[in-house]
Amino acid sequence: MKVAVFYFTQTGQALAIAKSVCQPVEAAGVEVVYRAIEPVTPFPYPWSYMDFFQLMPETRLYMPAPIKEPDFSGVEDADLVILSGQSWYLSPSQPIEAFLQNERARAFMKGRPVVTLNGCRNMWAMGQKEIRKQLALAGAHYVGYIVLQDEHPNLVSLFSIVSWLFYDKKDAHGLIPHAGVTDSNISAASRFGTPLLKALKNADFSNLQQELVDLGSVPYRSFLVFVETVGHRMFGKWAKFCRKKGGPNAQERSTRIFLFSLYVFFALLVASPIALVLYYATYLLRIPGIKRKKKDLLFNLADK
């Protein structure tokens, strides 16, 4: 048996998650091949303020920067494909989206079982819907997904992610806690390898997502999904507004990009706390919709 893992990472987190998940699989003698997804022009890291926000329009509109042609040599007979990455702007990161749109990658994934891994701050739902759409277009068999996220409160994780992405400070310092997925949570992700191995051995992935969910693979928080749904729609409007002034990194759109960055911080620091109060004040009325959305996000992998 063979597993092909394609990943994009700048900090090493997405690869560390993939290796942890695959640890029981490799320990059982299954060959696991890791292949990096590489942008043609590497993204900066750490990010500058404007470089980071310049990413938004193309990321949100699913217009990713090109990647180098993926390397499929030696994995043509893979029994399972794992795609490991992260969310950017409530969407798949550009390299992950580019892989999903790549014709050779689509041909490779067609007819194969695919599992996705997402290491993110705390909002993954809208990106997840885009991923399942792209995998359906590729004709892949989407059989499961795992989300690992920063477990700090929403506003706290905002400050820690800024410290990490802009200043390369991931560890706790001062009043700012550890950013991203903790090492202990990455290590504990090896538990997801057990149902993966079982599915591989039995050549039956039909119950994999349920088994992963039972192990805590999807940290579903209804309020964050609500905020993300609204934010995704608003990001779409901002993305189109910014694109009217040019493509990636066009100086003509810098003012609009800066205004968007102010909107993001206003939404997180001011609007989100107010929305939290209003959301839970009407929570009882929302319960039927919450249950439907949760069922759709957790168990619908067929883009229906």
CB 90 within 8 A of CB 11: no
- Judge whether residue 303 has pLDDT over 80: no
Helix spans in 244-282 (H):
254-266, 272-281
pLDDT tens by residue, 199-211? 999 999 999 999 9
CB 25 within 8 A of CB 193: yes
C-alpha separations of 137 from 100, 142, 240 in Å:
9, 11, 24
Residues in the chain, overall count: 304
- Within a domain: residue 251? no
What's the chain's Rg over C-alpha atoms? Answer: 19
Domain with 69 in it = 2-222+294-299
103 CB burial (10 A radius; 0-12, 13-18, 19+): exposed
| CATH for 183 | 3.40.50.360
Total structural domains in the chain?
1
| Spatial separation of the C-alpha atoms in residues 294 and 304, rounded to whole Å | 14
- Within a domain: residue 209? yes
Supply angle C-alpha 254, 64, 242, rounded to 5: 25
pLDDT at 155: 86
pLDDT tens by residue, 91-126? 999 999 999 999 999 999 999 999 999 999 999 999
The amino acid occupying position 92 is P
pTM of the model: 0.96
The mean pLDDT of 125-133, rounded to a whole number, is 96
- Within a domain: residue 268? no
